[in-house]
Amino acid sequence: MSQVRVRFAPSPTGFFHIGSARTALFNWLYARHTGGTFILRIEDTDKERNSEAFLNLIYDSMAWLGLNWDEGPKVGGAYGPYRQSERGHIYKEYVGKLMAAGRAYEKDGAIWFKLLGERHEVFDEHRKKTVTKVKLPPVVIEDQIRGRVERIEDEDFVIVRSDGNPVFHLVNVVDDIAMNVTHIIRGEDHLSNTSKHVHLYEGFGVKPPAFAHIPLILKQNGPGKMSKRDQGALIEEYQRRGYLPEALVNFLCLLGWNPGDDREKMPIAEIIKLFDLPGVNQSNARFDDKKLAHMNMAYLLEQPADRFVTLAREYFARQTENAAAQAALAADPAYFREVMLLSQPKIKGVEELPAYTAYFFSETYAIDAKVKEKVMAKGDPKARLQELAAALAAPEANWTTDAAIEETMKGLATAKGLGFGDYQAVTRLALSGTNVGPSITTMIRVLGRERVQARIARFLA
DSSP string for residues in 59-112: HHHHHHHT---SBBTTTB-TT---BGGG-HHHHHHHHHHHHHTTSEEEETTEEE
Task: Report the site for ligand GLU in 164-223 (rule: CB under 6 A).
Answer: 172, 184, 186, 190
d(CA 362, CA 358): 7
Which of 44, 34, 37 is CA-nearest to residue 68?
37
d(Cα 62, Cα 25) in Å, to the nearest integer? 9
Nearer to ligand GLU, 189 or 352 (CB): 189
Residue 459 Cβ, how far from ligand GLU at the closest point, in Å? 60
11 binds ligand GLU (CB under 6 A): yes
Q: Is 118 helix (H, G, I), strand (E, B) or coil?
A: strand
Instruction: Please give the angle made by the CA atoms of 329, 239 and 283, to the nearest 5 degrees.
Output: 150
Residue 225 engages ligand GLU in binding (rule: CB under 6 A): no
Find the helix packing angle between 402-416 and 420-432, rounded to 10°: 120
Choices 5-13, 113-121, 362-370, 445-453 (CB under 6 A): range interacting with ligand GLU: 5-13
The answer to whether 228 is a known catalytic residue is yes
34 vs 194 by CB, closer to ligand GLU: 194
Taking residues 377 to 416 in sequence order and writing x for each that binds ligand GLU by CB under 6 A, - otherwise, the string is ----------------------------------------
- Binding to ligand GLU by residue 445, rule CB under 6 A? no
**Residues linked to residue 83 through DSSP beta bridges, in sequence order:** 42
Residue among 5, 6, 9, 316 that touches ligand GLU (CB under 6 A): 9
| Residue 41 C-beta: closest distance to ligand GLU, Å | 8
Q: Write out the E strands in 147-240.
A: 147-151, 157-160, 183-187, 210-214, 217-218
Site string for ligand GLU, 336-365 (x = CB under 6 A): ------------------------------
Site for ligand GLU in 135-174 (CB under 6 A): 172
CB of 206 to ligand GLU, least distance (A): 16
Which helix (DSSP H) or strand (DSSP E) does residue 311 occupy? helix 305-318
Q: Which of 135, 228, 378, 382 is catalytic?
A: 228
The alpha carbon of 24 is separated from its chain's Cα centroid by a whole number of angstroms, namely 11
Catalytic residues: 228
Name the site residues for ligand GLU (rule: CB under 6 A): 9-11, 43, 172, 184, 186, 190
